[in-house]
Amino acid sequence: MWITRKGAVSARAGELGIIPGSMGARSYIVRGKGNAESYCSCSHGAGRRMSRGAAKRAYSLADLRAQTDGVECRKDAGVLDEIPGAYKDIDAVMAAQAELVEVVHRLKQVLCIKG
């Protein structure tokens, strides 16, 4: 029987996966290391560092435009809660799970589609 943690993806030995950053940050293609202590799993993304409401109170549309400069995406009030500053630093998240996955490739964010 496999135990699956919420917010985690499979990282079985040799298995490829993708770990996305925020709408303005890079994403990673990874290969699982099969670490049994993590139930052969890893994080599914950068993860929020502040709630959606807190992000809307803390940031402006000007901040959203600045943080997503160079990325083709919506830059309106409807996605302000998705601002990159509301998320953990994806590079720090990846460094923290170095025993779980091997980075195969880094992807530069150029397009982000939010519903």
pLDDT digits (tens, 9 = 90+) for 44-73: 999 999 999 999 999 999 999 999 999 999
Is position 74 within any domain? yes
Is position 114 within any domain? no
Structural domain of 25: 8-107
Is position 1 within any domain? no
Looking at residue 45, its amino acid is: G
Residue 8 pLDDT: 74
Radius of gyration of the chain (CA): 15
Q: Low-confidence residues of the chain, pLDDT below 70? A: 1-7, 115
Is position 3 within any domain? no
Cα 77 to chain centroid, rounded: 21
Query: How many folded domains does the chain comprise?
Result: 1
Is position 12 within any domain? yes
Would you call 105 a catalytic residue per the annotation? no
**Measured between alpha carbons, how far is 6 from 8 in angstroms, rounded to an integer?**
6
Is position 76 within any domain? yes
Is position 72 within any domain? yes
- From 28, 44, 25, select the one nearest 86 (Cα to Cα): 25
Instruction: Determine which one of 44, 48, 56, 74 is catalytic.
Output: 44
Is position 46 within any domain? yes
